[in-house]
Chains A and B, each alone.
Chain A
Amino acid sequence: AQSVAQPEDQVNVAEGNPLTVKCTYSVSGNPYLFWYVQYPNRGLQFLLKYITGDNLVKGSYGFEAEFNKSQTSFHLKKPSALVSDSALYFCAVLDQAGTALIFGKGTTLSVSS
């Protein structure tokens, strides 16, 4: 079965420190992976995607994600966190049929000043 897991409900980090939000996936064949961010009472905003190529993908707002095929992971990272990064983050994978995204349950990132 295809699935996405975000093992942490919440991640807390101090402003200026590096942050990591974890994501693991289970899918047959090549995975097509996405990260989205959601601010309170808003829709989701696209951050980045991995299709093929370099394992380190750069996206919006200084975020990047590292694809690791052997560990079936796609962790979201940022070298220096900002208070404004505080939000809900979703990892997603394209389903095998290529028709819909399967989302994880989300991780709340809280950055303290």
Chain B
Amino acid sequence: DGGITQSPKYLFRKEGQNVTLSCEQNLNHDAMYWYRQDPGQGLRLIYYSQIVNDFQKGDIAEGYSVSREKKESFPLTVTSAQKNPTAFYLCASSTRLTSSYNEQFFGPGTRLTVL
């Protein structure tokens, strides 16, 4: 988990609320990613960003939004439009060096629960 921090570790959301999950990295990586993990479904890509001020939707972007104003930071907002947000959220980063072939480093995760 070294080099990538996620906060908070646990987050509780009431229905209709937007919440923002923090992800910060000090690895000087250009690319950052957000995944959602549900039991038995593996990791599913929500959004990713390869450079500052640019990001792309992943497989399950609906109900989520991101920003990438700084290289070190890639916050994820879970909006009220996301109907089933209870899950474990993982942030990752990677260098864009060709030799890395996108080897990703992961943060410790945030567990979001809807009350």
Main secondary structure of the interface of A (DSSP, over half): loop
Binding site for B on A (CB under 8 A): 9, 32, 34, 36, 41-46, 49, 51, 90, 94, 98-101, 103-106
User: CA separation between A17 and B115, bound complex, in Å?
Assistant: 44
The reply to whether B102 and A99 contact each other, CB–CB distance below 8 Å, is yes
The reply to whether B42 and A90 contact each other, CB–CB distance below 8 Å, is yes
Binding site for A on B (CB under 8 A): 1, 4, 6, 31, 33, 35, 40-45, 48, 50, 56, 58, 88, 90, 92, 101-109, 111
The answer to whether residues A43 and B108 also contact, given A100-B45, A104-B42 and a CB cut-off of 8 A, is yes
Specify which chain B residues have a CB less than 8 angstroms from the CB of A49 in the assembled complex. Answer: 101, 103
User: CA separation between A105 and B35, bound complex, in Å?
Assistant: 13
Query: Which of B41, B42, B50, B103 meets A46, CB within 8 Å?
Result: B103
User: CA separation between A42 and B110, bound complex, in Å?
Assistant: 9
The reply to whether A100 and B103 contact each other, CB–CB distance below 8 Å, is no
